[in-house]
Amino acid sequence: MTDSIMSKAATMEIPINSNGDTGTLAEDDSLEQAAKLQWSLDEKVGSSRGTRDLQQVMVSGPNLNETSIVSGGYGGTAEGIISTSSIKGSNMHHSTSSSSMTAEEVTRGVAVEKLETMKKWGFNTYKCTKQMISERFGRGSRTVDLELEAQIEVLRDTKKKYECVLRLARALTNHFYNMVQTQHALGDTFADLSQKSPELRDEFGYNAETQKLLCKNGETLLGAINFFVSSINTLVKKTMEDTLMTIKMYENARLEFDAYRSDLEELSLGPRDAVAMARIDAAQQQYQVQKDKYERLRSDVIIKLKFLEENKVKVMHKQLLLFHNAISAYFAGNQQQLEQTLKQFNIKLKPPGADKPSWLEEQ
């Protein structure tokens, strides 16, 4: 019906009078009515079609992969239609390239940082080596603290002597341990012979008892000597060694400080243009940093030397008194005084075989 009305409207003739104006036709009203009818039909068809599309969307939902974006107005060409799948693919490619670029930038940043660290280390090593060679050949000046260096030299000499005492005390412990083991074996042999030799039973019995008593006192003395050796070892290998490590750090800081000080003095004697002044400012900053580090470590060394001396006197006073009393009581045959000496210094002896694992641990 709609097609017939439109064809009729299209084939109507519009008469023109002699003045070129269109005449009044009876079909104008019918043409207008046909147009209104066509518009109402299109609106109904469009609304019903939109209702069906909306119902379909609400039931199944849109397919995002097939959704299109239309550019331009109504009735535009297909050239303005862009598929979202292509946009999604391009976004994924862009994010992948961005992540790869970020990883590459991080790697490059780490490499640059390592290169800068190696550069600074090489530059600092060169300066320190140059300063060391200049000092050895007498062409460079060095910062000297006579009082502190004298204390450091005394400490190094004291450490060597204490290491000698420690070595001799360990040798004494080994020899005395062997003697105690020999006395123990000799006492067992005398006791066995006293059972097998009736005519010499008393003589062998006296000697067996004497050797067993000497063995017991020897084990007590060994406990005192082992405690003495352990305390000296802690003093030498830990306390003194820790102080000497701080002294080594102080000496390295002193060398770096003198190296940057010499560099600053050389630059100060040169020209005073803009480039030279910039280098002097940078050298001044580095000099101040090294000076602060040197003074801080110098203060640490002074404090540690003071505490080390106090600790050394306290420890050695106790250990020398223990060593003297234990040795005197043992060779005097005073078992009671020997045991009292160990109680005085809170030394507990391990029972024989305490270091050996039990039969359950051996399984």
- The DSSP annotation for 177-214 comes to HHHHHHHHHHHHHHHHHHHH-GGGHHHHHHHHHHHHHH
For the beta carbon of residue 313, count every other beta carbon within 10 angstroms: 10
295 domain-assigned:
yes
Q: Please count the structural domains in the chain.
A: 1
Report pLDDT for 271.
79
CB 255 within 8 A of CB 360: no
pLDDT for position 64: 43
Tell me the β-bridge partners of 70. 81
Cβ atoms of 304 and 246 within 8 Å: the answer is: yes
Report pLDDT for 136.
80
Let me know if residue 54 belongs to a domain: no
Q: Residue 187 belongs to what domain range? A: 146-345
Tokens 């007590």 sit on residue = 220
CA–CA gap between residue 272 and residue 280 (Å, rounded): 9
Q: Is 22 helix (H, G, I), strand (E, B) or coil?
A: strand
Task: Name which of 223, 228, 218 is nearest 331 in CA terms.
Answer: 218
- Is residue 105 assigned to a domain? no
Q: Determine the pLDDT at residue 76.
A: 44
**Among the listed residues 87, 66, 70, the one whose alpha carbon sits nearest the alpha carbon of residue 79:** 70
Q: Would you state the structure tokens that stand for residue 178, as one six-digit string?
A: 């062997």
| CATH at residue 220 | 1.20.1270.60
Query: What percentage of the chain's residues is helix, strand, coil (to nearest 5)?
Result: 80, 0, 15
| pLDDT on residue 154 | 96
Task: Note whether 227 and 206 are within 8 A (CB).
Answer: no
What's the rounded Cα separation, in Å, for the pair 304 and 238? Answer: 13
Does any domain span residue 137? no
93-99's contacts with Cβ under 8 Å and 24+ in sequence apart are none
| 268 within some domain | yes
* Residue 116: HSE in the Cβ half-sphere, 13 Å Cα cutoff: 6
pLDDT tens per residue, the chain (363 residues)? Answer: 444 444 444 444 444 444 444 444 444 454 445 555 555 555 544 545 544 544 444 444 444 444 444 444 444 444 444 444 444 455 554 555 566 667 777 787 788 888 878 877 786 787 788 778 887 887 778 888 999 999 999 999 999 999 999 999 999 999 999 999 999 999 999 999 988 888 898 999 999 999 999 999 999 999 999 999 999 999 999 999 999 999 999 999 999 998 888 888 888 887 778 888 888 888 899 889 999 999 999 999 999 999 999 999 999 999 999 999 999 999 988 888 888 988 888 887 766 555 444 444 444
Give the whole-angstrom CA distance, residue 249 versus residue 220. 43
Kindly report the pTM of this predicted structure.
0.62
80 domain residue, yes or no: no
Backbone φ, ψ for residue 162 (5° rounding): -70, -35
HEC assignment per residue over 132-175: HHHHHCCCCCCCCCHHHHHHHHHHHHHHHHHHHHHHHHHHHHHH
Distance CA 210, CA 190 (A): 10
- Give a yes or no: residue 64 inside a domain: no
Residue 169 lies in a domain: yes
